[in-house]
Amino acid sequence: MSLITVERKILEKNDEIANINREKFRFKGMFTLNLVSSPGSGKTCLIEQTIKLLKEKMNIAVIEGDVQTNIDAQRIDALGVPVVQIVTNGACHLDAMLVRDAFQKLNDIDINILFIENVGNLVCPAAYDLGEEMKVVIISTTEGDDKPLKYPAIFRNSEVLVINKIDLLPHVNCDVDTIIKNAHSINSGLKVFEVSCTSMEGINEWCEFLLYEVKSQ
- From residue 49, how far is each of 45, 123, 144, 207 by CA, in Å? 6, 26, 23, 9
Told to check if 67 binds its own copies by CB under 8 A, we report yes
Print the binding letters for residues 12-41 with its own copies: x by CB under 8 A, - otherwise: --------------------------xxx-
Told to check if 119 binds its own copies by CB under 8 A, we report yes
The least distance separating its own copies from the CB of residue 8, rounded to whole angstroms, comes to 11
Give CA–CA dist 10/25, Å, rounded: 22
| One of 15, 133, 167, 175 touching its own copies (CB under 8 A) | 167
Select 122 or 214, whichever has its Cβ closest to its own copies.
122
Told to check if 120 binds its own copies by CB under 8 A, we report yes
| One of 144, 176, 184, 187 touching its own copies (CB under 8 A) | 144
Stretch that binds its own copies, among 15-23, 106-114, 134-142, 209-217 (CB under 8 A): 134-142
The long-range contacts involving 86-91, CB below 8 angstroms and separated by at least 24 positions, are 88/119, 91/67, 91/119
Told to check if 175 binds its own copies by CB under 8 A, we report no
Select 82 or 144, whichever has its Cβ closest to its own copies.
144
Told to check if 146 binds its own copies by CB under 8 A, we report yes
The least distance separating its own copies from the CB of residue 172, rounded to whole angstroms, comes to 7
Residues that bind its own copies (CB under 8 A): 1-3, 6-7, 10, 38-40, 66-69, 71, 90, 92, 119-124, 139-140, 142-144, 146-147, 149-153, 165, 167-168, 171-173, 198
